[in-house]
A and B are shown apart, each in its own frame.
Chain A
Amino acid sequence: MSSDPVLVLDDLSIALATISGEVPVVEHLSFSVAQGSTIALVGESGCGKSMTALAIMNLLPQGFRCSGGRILFEGEDLVAATPSRRRALRGNRMSMIFQEPMTALNPVFTVGEQIAEALRAHQNLGRRAAAARALDMLRAVQIPAAENRIKAYPHQLSGGMRQRVMIAIALACRPKLLIADEPTTALDVTVQAQVFDLLARLQEEMSTAIILITHDLGAVADIADDVAVLYAGRCIEQGATRVVMEQPLHPYTAGLMVCVPHLQPGVMAARHRLLAEIPGMVPPLGQRPTICAFSDRCTRVGNDCLSEPQPPLFTLAPTQAVACLHPLQRETTA
C-alpha cells in the first residue's frame, strides 16, 4: 500500500475557446488525493468543478482544453499522454459517475450488459466471466434480487437503483480513483444517504480514492477527508474538512457555512430570522478580474485586494491553506 498520492493536480488551468479568444475556466488549480481518501470539491455552479473532473478524465467538451499545468495520476502526467493511453485508463484505473442517473444509462441495453461491457473492454474477460463479475458487482452495490435485475433494462429501475448500477459500472474494474460529480443531487433525500453509505463502504473495501464534486456541504462534512473550495475557477481555500468547516479562513468559505440553513430554530432564531445569503454575483465567464475574484462581494476587502493580483494558496496551518490577503483569524484553542 503506497503512501504516494493517487492523483496530483499541479497548477492545472482549463480554458474555453470563444469568438473573442480564449477564456479561462479553471486557473492554477492544485490539490492531491491520497489512496483510499476522499476530497470534496465545492463551489457554486459555474466555478469549474465539473470541468476539472472532465479534464482529469479527458472528456472535456469541444472548445475546452487544458491550457497549463499537469495532471499526475500515479506519477504519470496525463496532459502529456496520448488519447489512447488516456482511454485505456478511463473506466479502468479511473472512473466517473454523473449527476443524472435517469439518463446516464443506455435505454436499449440491459444493465448487466452495460456493466459487463466495461469489464470486457479493459480486462479482456470473456462473455461468461464478464457476466459473472457483473452479477457480483450488482450484489456489491446492494441491488436486491440481482440475478433477475441483471437482465433488466434501465427504464425498469428507479433512480436510486440506476445510480447504484452506475456505481457498479464505475467500480467494476476496481479503479484507483473515482470521481463522483454530484451523484445524489437528482435523488430523493433518503436515497442520498444510502448512496453515500455505499460509496464509503466500497471505498474501504477497494481503497479507492474519491473526488466528490458537490454543493451539498452536509455530505462534505459526512464523508470527505479533505475539501477544496473553488470560486470563479480558482481555489480559495483547501484543507482537512473538519478544520475548514469549523474554522474557515477565507471570507467566502465562511459565508458559505453561514448560508447553510440550520433546522434548530431555538438556537439560531435569536440572531438570524431570514435565510442568509452572500450579496452580489459570481463574475461571469470571461469577465474575471486578475485581482481577487471575490473582492467585489467581500466585507473584509482592503485596498491591497483591489490593486494586487489574487494571491495563490499559502499554508496557514498544517492542514489548511487559503488564498486571501486578509484571512479570518483562527480562534486559538486553549
Chain B
Amino acid sequence: MTMIPMPAHPEMLGPANPPHAPGPSPPLPSPASPAAEIATRLLRRPTGLAGVLIITGFLLAAFAGPHLYPGDPFDVAGLPFSPPGEDLVLGTDYLGRDILAGLLHGARATLTVGAIAALITLVIGVAIGALAGYFGGALGTALMKITEFFQVLPTLLFAMVLVSLFGQTLTVVTLSIGIVSWPPVARLTRAEFLRIRGLDFVKAARAAGAGAPYLILRVILPNAAPPIIVAATLAVGTAILFEGGLSFLGLGDPNVMSWGLMIGQNRAYALDAWWTVALPGAAIFIAVLGVSLLGDAFNDAINPRLRRRT
C-alpha cells in the first residue's frame, strides 16, 4: 500500500487535540416509566384504542349486563324464532329463549374461560420455555421433546377427547384448552431466553453471584416479557375461539350459556332464523377482534423501529 504523503500543513489542526466541548445539545425529555410510555403509545394508535374499548365493552357486558338485564338465558321468554326488534331486542332462538340474555350471560362464560385458559397456557408455557431456555442441555432437550409431542396432536381434537373422557364441565373445558395450547408459548419463551441469556448484562449479573432463580425471574424474564405479553393476548383470542368451537360441537358445559352453544344449538335453523347464529357468532368475532387489535397495537408499541417511514 502506498504511503500517504507527509502532511504539508499539520498546523491545520490548531493546538494539538484541545479538549472540546461538543456544543450544547437539546435537553432530553425526562423519561417516564417504560410501562407508562408503552401504555401511552398503545392508546395513541387507533388499533390499540379500538382494542381497549372493545374489551372494556365486553367486560362491562359480562359483569354488569346480567344485573341490568336480568333473566335466565335458559328461560323461555317468547315465541320461538321471533326476529330481532319484534318482541325482544335481539329476538328469540329455536326454543324461544332471549338472545340478548344469552349474549350477556354467554359473555361471562366465554371471557372467563378465555382468560383462565390463557393464563394456564401462559404459566405452563413460560415455565417450560424458561427452564428449557435457561438450562439447556439434557433438560432442555427433554422439555422440547415434550413440547414437540404436544404440538403433534391437533389441539381441538385433543381437547375434544379430554372433555368427552373427563366430563363436560366448565373446569374440564378450561383445563383442556389450557393444556393443549401451551407449546407455541413455550417455544417463544425458550427462544427469548436463549437470546437474552447470552447478553452481557446477564453475564454480569452471574459474575456478581446471582443464582439461577434470581436470574430467571428477576433478570431475564422481565426482558423477555414484551413478546410473551403479545403471545398472551393472542392466547386469549385463541382460547375464546377454542371455547366457541367446543361449545358449538356440543362439548361445552351444557348448564352454562355460551355463544358457541347458541350457535351449535340453532345450527339446523340457520336458514330460517339467521339471527340465532349470526349474532352469537358476531359476538365471538368482535371479542377476538378486540383482543387481536390490542395484541397487535402492543406489538407495535414495543417495537417502534418496525414503523420505518422514509
Residues of A that sit less than 8 Å from B by CB? 61-63, 193, 217-219, 221-222, 242, 245-248, 251, 254-255, 257-258, 260, 262, 271-274, 276-281, 299-300, 328, 331
Contacts and interface: CB of A to CB of B under 8 A. Distances in A.
A110 B252 CA distance: 56
Given A63-B310, A258-B7, A280-B20, A221 B2 contact: yes
Contact of B7 (A62, A242, A257, A279): A257
Nearest to B20: A279
Contacts of A219: 1
* B interface majority secondary structure: loop
Given A248-B9, A257-B7, A258-B12, 5 more contacts: A217-B4, A221-B1, A242-B5, A258-B10, A279-B14
A277 B17 contact: yes
Chain B, interface size category, equals 10 to 19
Given A255-B13, A258-B13, A276-B13, A247 B4 contact: no
A281 B22 contact: yes
Contacts of B10: 258, 271-272
A63 B310 CA distance: 6
B73 to A, nearest CB: 54
Contact of B16 (A218, A274, A280, A281): A274
A247 B8 contact: yes
B304 interface: no
A206 B106 CA distance: 79
A254 B8 contact: yes
A299 B13 contact: yes
Given A62-B310, A274-B17, A276-B13, A218 B8 contact: no
B1 A193 contact: yes
A276 B17 CA distance: 7
A60 B4 CA distance: 33
A254 B4 CA distance: 12
7 contacts: A193-B1, A218-B1, A246-B8, A257-B7, A273-B16, A277-B17, A279-B14
A63 B14 CA distance: 40
Given A63-B310, A274-B17, A279-B20, A254 B12 contact: yes
A-B complex: 8 closest residue pairs judged by Cβ atoms? A246-B5, A221-B2, A258-B7, A254-B12, A279-B20, A254-B9, A218-B1, A63-B310
Nearest to B1: A218
B78 to A, nearest CB: 59
Contacts of A262: 4
Contacts of A300: 12
Nearest to A196: B1
> Could you say which of B7, B10, B14, B17 has the most chain A C-beta atoms within 10 Å of its C-beta?
B7
B213 interface: no
A299 B3 CA distance: 26
A247 B10 CA distance: 12
A222 B5 CA distance: 11
Contacts of B9: 248, 254, 258, 328
B56 to A, nearest CB: 34
B24 interface: no
| Residue among B4, B5, B20, B310 with most chain A CB within 10 A | B4
A260 B11 CA distance: 15
A196 to B, nearest CB: 9
